[in-house]
Structure 1
Amino acid sequence: MKKTKMKIMSLLLSMVLFLFVPFLNLQAAADHPARLVDQAELLTAEEQQQIQAKLDEVSELHHCDAVVMTVNSLEGKTATEYADDAFDYDGYGLGEDKAGILFLVDMGDRNWATSTHGYAITAFTDAGLSYIEEKLVSYLGDGEYAEAFNCFAEQCDRFLTQAETGEPYDVDNMPQEPFAYAFWLVVCLAIGFVIALITASIKRSKLTSVVKRTTAEEYMKKDSLNLTVKQDRFINKVVTSRPVPKNDNDSHSGGGGSSTHVSSSGEVHGGHSGKF
C-alpha cells in the first residue's frame, strides 16, 4: 500500500514539474530585456520582428546574449560608455558570467560601438570584432540597417559556434571566404599561365639559328676529344650548416586575444567603437 502511494506521489510530482518548468522558462524569457531596442526607429515592424526572433534564437542556442540597440543621442557619453552601461544596467547577459555582446548604433553623431562581457570577450577577440565590424559599418554607411543587424546576428552565431570548438576566431584563425579564395586562386593561376606562355614564346622566337640534333655525338666536333683513361675519383665533401632561429612566442606572435576595459559599474568589457 505504501509503495503504491509513493508511486502515485512520484507520478503527480513529475506531472507538476512537467507542467511548471515550461512556465518558468516562459516567465524567464518574459522577464529578459528585449534583445532589439530600436529607439532611433530605423526598422519597419516586420524587420523588427524578424531580427528580434533571430537574435533570440542565437542567444538561447549559445547561452550568450546578442543585442542590437539604436539611439538618437549618447546623452553626453562616449559610444563605448553608453554601450557598456546599457549592457550592465539594462540586465543583459546570460549565465553566471553574464555572457553577451551588444551592438550600439547612435544616429545623432553616426557612432557605433560593440561591447562584450563574460564569455563573449573570449568568443569575440579583437581581430574577430574587427572582421564583423567591417561588414556592419559597410551596411550602415549605405543606410542598410536591417541588413546590418541581420548580418550581426549571423556573425554572432558563426563566431559563437567556432568558439565552442575551443579555438575562437583570431588573428591566425580567421573565417575563410570560400568564393573569394577560389576566385583569386583561379585569377592567379590564369595570370601565371599567360606570363609563362609569353616568356616561352619570346625565348623560342630568338632561337632562329638553332637546329635540333638527334644524338649526343652531333654536338661534338669531330676528332676533338680522345679519352684514353676513364676514372671517377672522390675529391672532398663540403657540408654547410646554419642554425634555425626558434620563436619562443609563436602562439602570441600575432598579438591576438581581446583587449578589455572597466565600465562605470566596475564590470570588465571588451569591444570597439567608431563612426560610419
Structure 2
Amino acid sequence: MSVEIIVMYLVVGLIAGVLAGLLGVGGGVVIVPMLVFCFVKQGIQPDQIMHLALGTSLASIMFTSISSFMSHHKRGAVEWSIVRRIVPGILLGTFAGTFVASRLSTGFLKGFFCLFLYAVATQMLLNRKPKASRDLPETAGMFGMGSTIGVISALVGIGGGSLSVPFMIWCNVPAHRAIGTSAAIGFPIAIAGAVGYIVNNLGGVGLPAYSVGYVYLPALVGIVCASMLTAPFGVRLAHALPVDKLKRIFALFLYAVATRMAWGLLF
C-alpha cells in the first residue's frame, strides 16, 4: 500500500475530527463524501464505492462515539432510560438496513445520500428546532422510531444524531440531554451497522485488499487515529469562533457536495 493512500485517509480523519469538534457534526455527513472521493481516486470498482463508504463510516463511528457519549455521561446529559427503550429498535433497524443497502445499487444509495445531505444542510442553514409538543411514546412507539432511525442511519452511514436529536426535542427532552443521549444511541447504531456491512459481503468478490466485508481497514484506521487527535482541537475552536456563522457556511458546503454527487449521477 502506497504512502499516498495512507496519508489520504489520515487527512480524512483530521478533517472529520476538527469538524466534529467544531460544529458537532460527524458520521456519514462528513466522512462518507470524503471516502467516496478517496475511493474514486484510488480506483476502487464504482459499484462497490458507496457500500464501502457507508460500512467504513459506521465502523469508524463505533470507535469515535465512545469518547463522545462518555463525555456527555460525565456531565449527566445522557438519559439512559431513553437509550434502553430505543436501542432494541435501533439494533434491529440498523442491521436490517444494511441488508437492504447491500442489495441496492451504488447509484440509488448516492441519490438517497444526496437527498439526506440537502435535508441536513437546510436544517443547519435555517437552524430551526422542532417544537416540544408531546411526550415520548410507549414501548411500541419507541421500538418503531428506533427501527426507523436505524434503517435510515444504515442507508446513509451516520450515527443517527440528525434524526434522534429532533425526535427527542419534539418529545420534550431538553436539547442538551437530547444531544448527549443521541451520542449514546450512536454507539449501538455503529455496532449493528458495521457488523451488518461486514456480514453482507464477507469474502465478497471485487473488494479491494484489506477489506473485511464492506469495511475498508486502511481508511478505518486512518480516520479513527487522526480524528481522535483533532476532535479536541475542534472543541477548543468552538469556544473561540462564531460557530453559528460557521454552521451556515458549512451548510452551503454540504449543498455543494450534494449537488456535485447528484451531477455525477445524472451526467
TM-score w.r.t. length of structure 1: 0.22
Relative to its length, the structure with more strand (as a share) is: 1
Task: Select the structure with the greater relative contact order (CA < 8 A; seq sep ≥ 6).
Answer: 2
Relative to its length, the structure with more helix (as a share) is: 2
TM-score w.r.t. length of structure 2: 0.22
Structure having the higher Rg: 1
